[in-house]
A and B are shown apart, each in its own frame.
Chain A
Amino acid sequence: MTTALGELDLLLTDHHVHSTWSDDAVSAPMENLVAARDTGLASIRMVDHVRTTTTWVPGFLAEISALPRVEGLEVLTGVEAKILDASGRLDVPDDLVVGAGGVDRVLIADHQFPGPDGPWSPRRTLEELAAGLPAEDALSILVTATVRAMERAGRGQLAHLFSLLPKIGLHESELLDEHVAAIADAAVRTGTTVEVNEKWRCPGPRVVLQLAAAGVTLVGSTDSHEATTVGRYSWVAEAASATRLVGTR
């Protein structure tokens, strides 16, 4: 299994596909592999959710590496973990191996707001905003935590970047260009890929274009929990055609 992505069109990639190794997905890795082949993907990343207490990663990796090889289809692995706090700490097991002999990438997820004292629920975040936390500061905390998480992850991938915002009453249009630039710089510096996510329809065109222009590697992502949705894009297709306009593919 290699991790070389090259210059694949992001529509030929699906770098966020869950299987029954996750608590809640419906399809097994084999079903996802067949679906990826049938939709003509060139690259799939099999991903499952971890937390600090997760112990099944070696078994997951063994099952993925035992899958039959499909000509022209690259199979990569990952684990998805949330950013726990403003320091960018990730909800991954201590003994997680990233790179040779381990998972190819850690997917960095904004499942909760990474507060200074740990994850904040959407309600808590809304309360802090209502109590006077400026939206710009909240966005800065989120962006800084994301940058720090990229530095900690080793090899990272930003999962559904900014999908949290609507849930806490904010919108990507409130992001400053400096916020997006900080993400882009860190992504290029750390080799972190950023997904364009079909399920959560994020990040939006402005962020995608700014990241692409900065040379960030973008990948397609369905965040699929069922084989029938693997590699199926509609919203992402529009984002992909926009990135071609700036020559990044």
Chain B
Amino acid sequence: MSDSSPTRVLVTGAGGPAGIAVLRSLARRDDVVLLAADMDRYASGLYLVDAGARHLVRPGLSEEFVDHLVGLCERERVDVLFSTVDVELPRLAAERKRLAAVGTTLAAPSLETLEVCLDKYALAQRCTGVVRTPRTALLGETDPDSWDYPVIVKPRRGAGSRGVHLVEDAAALRALGSDEDILVQANLPGDEYSVDTLADADGTVVAAVPRSRLRVDSGVSVAGSTVADPELEETARQVAAAVGLVGVANVQLRRDAEGRPALLEVNPRFPGAMPLTVAAGVDMPSLALDLALERPLPASVPFRELAVVRYLEDVFVPLADVVSEEDAR
């Protein structure tokens, strides 16, 4: 594209906090035209962009999802695509070439990085010996009597807090059976941190911003603060290098019994709490856009310590702009 024409950026998952965070960040750039997409026509982030820039997409798991999104990117002349939906990411990363063929750059880590991050067992194996990791095993392959209780049990694949719970003793663990898709992990006693991490095209970490979660409501951080702690930052850097990160990921760490940070998991996408990181001085969506456009990034971007509280906000829309359900097919 010529330097004068604005960059057209499509953000999917416009109904989620991560999608809204990316839209809000990029809306501040005057060289960007924003488009928003979601599978739900009432997704609030759709209403952050011009009416002509709102699009529906098929569910990320549906067969035709990629075909339809590639078609949308082609027709809308999308320069850069940000997907903020977990299930979309690996499918899109696998079709990066098809997107490139219609002129669209996918702003997401490589498929290889996504795959290792989305398989928590593979991630633990990859990072053991690189950073501290809690003891991790597959449910079917471990002796319940060999653990200190309670232990954490969670799905091997998938994101968020779904299916994560504490198991109190060996009998309860044994009762869970031998599902190969369930992980058993030592339950670390310390505080938990999310480190928003951005690596440039060479894999050099430009910023690693630890956030503490002061209160969690339905898995969403409602209050938190950035934490200047070189050990947390360094741990996230090492994890980013181990998974070959290019772009943005959210590294989850927890302190062990000695107070040292250990790796829990990596969410290879924008977190919903990204606005705090942006406010603290590191505008990761904007930097990720520059990365996708092959523009040079600063060697490092500092952040300051800052706290956030959140509240629900009403968005008022003229009645005519929200059509009743029976009018919709």
Partners in one complex: yes
The reply to whether the CB of B230 lies closer than 8 angstroms to some CB of chain A is no
Q: Is the CB of B100 within 8 A of A30?
A: no
Say yes or no: A123-B52 contact (C-beta < 8 A), given A23-B58, A228-B321.
Answer: no
> Known interface pairs A24-B37, A28-B328, A227-B323. Does A121 touch B101 (Cβ–Cβ under 8 Å)?
yes
Q: A167-B77, A169-B2 are in contact. Are A25 and B55 (CB under 8 A)?
A: yes
Q: Is the CB of B1 within 8 A of A169?
A: yes
Indicate if the CB atoms of B51 and A228 lie closer than 8 Å: yes
Given contacts A49-B71, A51-B71, A166-B2, contact A27 B323 (CB under 8 A): yes
Q: Are B52 and A30 within 8 A (Cβ)?
A: no
Residue of B with least CB distance to A80 = B75
Task: For residue A44, give the distance in angstroms from its CB to the closest CB of chain B.
Answer: 16
Q: Are A229 and B51 in contact (CB under 8 A)?
A: yes
Give the complex CA separation of A25 and B4 in angstroms.
28
Which residue of chain A is the closest to B10 with respect to CB atoms? A24
If A26-B41, A169-B1, A228-B51 touch, whether A123 touches B323 (CB-CB below 8 Å) is no
Q: Is there an interface contact between B52 and A226, defined as CB atoms closer than 8 Å?
A: yes
Given the known interface contacts A23-B71, A49-B71, A167-B5, the answer about A28 and B329 at a Cβ–Cβ threshold of 8 Å is yes
Q: Is the CB of A24 within 8 A of B327?
A: no
Name the residue among A25, A27, A126, A199 with the largest chain B CB count within 10 angstroms: A27
User: Interface readout for B53-93 with A: 1 if CB under 8 Å, 0 if not?
Assistant: 01111100000100010011011010000000000000000
Q: Is the interface of A mostly helix, strand, loop or mixed?
A: loop
B323 touches A31 (CB 8 A): yes
Does B102 make an interface contact (CB < 8 A)? Answer: yes
Contacts of A24 in B (CB 8 A): 37, 55-57, 68, 71-72
CA distance A167 to B4 in the complex (A): 10
Instruction: Verify if B171 is at the interface (C-beta below 8 Å from A).
Output: no
A55 to B51 CA separation, bound complex (whole angstroms): 29
A112 and B102 in contact (CB under 8 A), knowing A24-B37, A28-B328? yes
Q: A222 at interface (Cβ–Cβ under 8 A)?
A: yes
CA distance A224 to B75 in the complex (A): 13
- With A31-B323, A167-B1, A226-B54 known to touch, is A109 a contact of B328 (CB < 8 Å)? no
Q: Shortest beta-carbon distance, A167 to chain B, in Å?
A: 5
Chain B residues near A229 (CB-CB < 8 A)? 51-52
Closest Cβ of chain A to B103, distance in Å, is: 4
How many angstroms from the CA of A40 to the CA of B327 in the assembled complex?
Answer: 20
Closest residue of chain B to A227 (Cβ to Cβ) is B323
- Report Cα–Cα, A109/B102, bound state, in Å: 14
A197 to chain B, nearest CB (A): 11
Q: Are B54 and A225 in contact (CB under 8 A)?
A: yes
B75 touches A111 (CB 8 A): yes
Nearest chain B CB to A92 CB, angstrom units: 14
Q: Which residues of A have CB within 8 Å of B321?
A: 228
Q: In the complex, A24→B71 CA distance in Å?
A: 9
Q: Which residues of A contact B103 (CB under 8 A)?
A: 112, 121-123, 167
Residues facing A in B291-329 (CB within 8 A) are 320-321, 323, 327-329
Task: Determine if A20 is an interface residue (Cβ-Cβ < 8 Å).
Answer: yes
CB distance from A45 to the nearest CB of B (A): 17
Scoring A51, A121, A228 by chain B CB atoms within 10 A of each residue's CB, the highest score goes to A228
> Of all chain A residues, which has the CB nearest B323?
A31
Assess the B328–A31 pair: CB atoms within 8 A: yes
Chain A residues with CB below 8 A from B328, complex form? 20, 27-28, 31
Most A-side CB within 10 Å, residue of B52, B71, B321, B327: B52
Chain A residues near B68 (CB-CB < 8 A): 23-24
In whole angstroms, what is the CA distance A88 to B64 when docked? 27
| Chain A residues near B4 (CB-CB < 8 A) | 166
A51 proximity list for chain B (CB < 8 A): 71
Q: How far is the CA of A26 from the CA of B57 in the complex (A)?
A: 9
Q: Mark B1-34, 1 if CB is under 8 A from A, else 0.
A: 1101100000000000000000000000000000
B260 to nearest A CB, angstroms? Answer: 46
Taking CB as reference atom, which chain A residue is nearest B3? A169
14 extra A-B contacts, CB within 8 A, seeds A24-B37, A28-B328: A20-B56, A20-B329, A23-B58, A23-B68, A23-B72, A26-B54, A26-B56, A28-B327, A112-B102, A112-B103, A163-B77, A167-B5, A223-B52, A228-B320
Question: Can you list 24 A-B pairs, Cβ within 8 angstroms, ordered by A?
Answer: A20-B56, A20-B329, A23-B57, A23-B71, A23-B72, A24-B56, A28-B328, A30-B327, A31-B323, A31-B328, A34-B327, A49-B75, A112-B74, A121-B100, A121-B102, A122-B1, A122-B77, A166-B2, A166-B5, A167-B77, A167-B103, A199-B52, A223-B52, A226-B51
Which residues from chain B sit less than 8 Å from chain A, CB to CB?
1-2, 4-5, 37, 41, 46, 51-52, 54-58, 64, 68, 71-72, 74-75, 77, 100-103, 320-321, 323, 327-329
Q: Which 10 A-B pairs have the closest CB atoms?
A: A24-B55, A122-B103, A23-B68, A169-B2, A28-B329, A166-B5, A24-B72, A121-B103, A228-B51, A226-B51
Chain A residues with CB under 8 Å of chain B are: 20, 23-28, 30-31, 34, 49, 51, 82, 109, 111-112, 121-123, 126, 163, 166-167, 169, 199, 222-229
